[in-house]
Amino acid sequence: MSALSDETRRSAAREIAALLNRAGRVLFITGAGISADSGLPTYRGLGGLYENDLTAEGMPIEEALSGEMLLRRPEITWKYMAQIEENCRHAGPNAAHKLLAQWERELPYVMVLTQNVDGLHRAAGSENVVEIHGDLHRLRCMHCGLREAAPDLAGRALPPACPQCGKVMRPEVVLFGEMLPEAELGRLRTALDIGFDLVFSIGTTSVFPYIAQPVIQAMQAGIPTVEINPGRTSLSAHVTYQLLLGAAAALTAIEDQRTEDSKATGADAPQ
């Protein structure tokens, strides 16, 4: 369903809100677009930051941010990881992140599957988050395995040295060419095996199979699906509802309808 007018948007938001209020289990899949209202870019690299230019070293950003480059020349990988971290450092959760955290508290079961490494879902208060690409604010020693929280890298030597053995620390994110974390994949598979009543795709182009598949699986099972994205994707023609809006605007519109519905029935939003 395309959001072609204000009335179309309101109608879609009203129907989605009703589905959300009735749902027992909801999956929200998020990409870089959900963090756009926090001031983070949505293009290329890990969480954005780069377009089509080569790096200063004359290589694609995918090569600079690869697991192979981290092993061979960690200073290059860390140079660009630090730039991404600096962009994330001053960003805070926006209305979309906060609403997902609110709905997790109010609805029976909510899971967030995110591609983002900015940590903004947890900062907003979401707890049941599958960070399929990791979190830029966690480090792990490549030698002794020591883990360390790193709220920011300001003033820190790069590559960061392990405080225990002095070897190179790595960010706990999935770099290009690396495998997805098995523990997070296991959590996702278990939740998908149980099933969901409603599946959202928010701010992602769904180019990765493991991001698109839960939506496709829901569609095949006749489960309502919602895509929220300012632009169209390969899933747009197939989802039950499509809102051509940014994440914060779309989720706020849905929450407004939930509030109106609860006022109309004289009840609080579902707990």
Question: Per residue in 195-215, pLDDT tens?
Answer: 999 999 999 988 889 999 999
**pLDDT-above-70 percentage for the chain:** 91
**Mean pLDDT of all residues belonging to the chain:** 90
Per the structure block, which two tokens stand in for 181? 């974390």
CB 21 within 8 A of CB 110: no
pLDDT at position 4? 52
pLDDT at position 39? 87
CB 209 within 8 A of CB 35: no
Query: What is the β-pairing status of strands 241-243 and 225-228?
Result: parallel
Confidence class for position 153, pLDDT limits 50, 70, 90: confident
Rounded distance between C-alpha atoms, residue 94 and residue 113, angstroms:
17
Looking at the predicted structure, is the pLDDT value of residue 191 above 60?
Answer: yes
Q: What is the mean pLDDT of residues 18-39?
A: 95
Q: Residue 201: what are its φ and ψ, rounded to 5°?
A: -120, 120
Q: What is the pLDDT of residues 69-113, one digit of tens each?
A: 999 999 999 999 998 888 888 889 999 999 999 999 999 999 999
Of the candidates 133, 137, 143, 238, the residue annotated as catalytic is 133
Looking at the predicted structure, is the pLDDT value of residue 44 above 60?
Answer: no
Q: What is the mean pLDDT of residues 158-174?
A: 95
Q: What is the pLDDT of residues 4-17, one digit of tens each?
A: 567 778 899 999 99
Confidence class for position 67, pLDDT limits 50, 70, 90: very high
Looking at the predicted structure, is the pLDDT value of residue 1 above 80?
Answer: no
Name which of 19-23, 26-30, 45-49 the model is least confident about: 45-49
Confidence class for position 271, pLDDT limits 50, 70, 90: very low
- Is 133 tagged catalytic? yes
Torsion 240-245-251-252 (CA) sign: negative
Q: Tell me which amino acid residue 88 is.
A: C
Domains (range + CATH), the chain:
6-38+93-133+179-265 (3.40.50.1220), 61-90+139-173 (3.30.1600.10)
Say how many CA atoms lie within 13 Å of 21 toward its Cβ. 20
Q: What is the mean pLDDT of residues 154-182?
A: 94
Torsion 238-120-93-98 (CA) sign: positive
CB 104 within 8 A of CB 14: no
Q: What is the mean pLDDT of residues 232-246?
A: 94
Rounded distance between C-alpha atoms, residue 266 and residue 228, angstroms:
29
3-class DSSP state for residue 243? strand
CB 115 within 8 A of CB 201: no
